[in-house]
Amino acid sequence: MENPGYIALSRMIAQQRALEVRATNIANTGTPGFKAETVLFSDYLLQQNGVVSPPGGKTVQMVQDRATWRDFSQGQVSKTGNPLDLALQGEGFFAVDTPRGERYTRAGRFSLSAAGQIVDMTGNPVLGTDGRPINVPPEAGVITVGGDGTISSDTGPIGKFRVVQFDDQQAMQAEGNSLFATTQPSRDAVAPAVAQGTIEGANIQAVVELTSMMAEMREFEFASQFVDGEARREQSAIDRIGRNKG
């Protein structure tokens, strides 16, 4: 395969990655707190050394999937009436305790476990400002969550949700569809804004994602057709050379 074919192939590989990311976004349209991703492309300049080439032809410009950028903008907030459905307004993450260590989430669809702990959708205990799981007494009754994350009930105060922020959100690594991990230090949100009885949805516009996915599929098909055309051209050239030598 000559350089034109390799260049088109690099575009196909990058485009396939973009299609996978779009498909993941669309699949998580209904996932609370999900944050959409976008693939960033860039040029990769390949130097050709020790070859005879025309002026300006010693650099081959390939396509590479350089990074994946995650959109951390606010998703649409909808009312549910569930006292343990909580949405964060603005920046911040709830902290949860997982078997892999502390993780962070925007998916505030919480519930009470059989042991009386407030847990996330997969059963991970949600942490309070003391760094421990939040335990709700059996006699607590109706649970009320204040705008600053303070939890109380008919019997008195219970605790306060730990809401944290990070300097570089793009450095956070997704684990599944709702959790994030990071090695950077967290800082407690100075003035967290927690809305009880609401949930933050995914920040995905389904129509935009579908339109973009269709455009990327056309780009992939165009590159595939180009590669096929190059293969036929090269085979035709080989056949002609063979006939001439015969």
DSSP state of 210: H
> What is the tens place of the pLDDT at every residue in 186-222?
999 989 999 999 999 999 988 888 888 888 888 877 7
Single out the residue of 19, 1, 6, 2 nearest to residue 223, CA to CA: 6
Q: Are the CB atoms for 17 and 37 separated by under 8 Å? A: no
| Alpha-carbon distances of 198 from 63, 81, 87, 121, 195, rounded to whole Å | 43, 7, 6, 15, 6
- Local structure of 23: helix, strand or coil: helix
| Alpha-carbon distances of 147 from 160, 161, 176, 190, 194, rounded to whole Å | 11, 11, 28, 12, 5
pLDDT at 45: 45
Single out the residue of 200, 241, 186 nearest to residue 73, CA to CA: 200
Check pLDDT > 70 for residue 64.
no
| Alpha-carbon distances of 188 from 26, 149, 230, rounded to whole Å | 32, 12, 57
> What is the tens place of the pLDDT at every residue in 2-59?
566 666 667 777 778 888 889 999 999 999 999 999 887 654 444 555 555 555 555 5
Predicted TM-score (pTM) above 0.85: no
Cα 111 to the center of its chain, rounded Å: 24
pLDDT classification of 169: cutoffs 50, 70, 90: very high
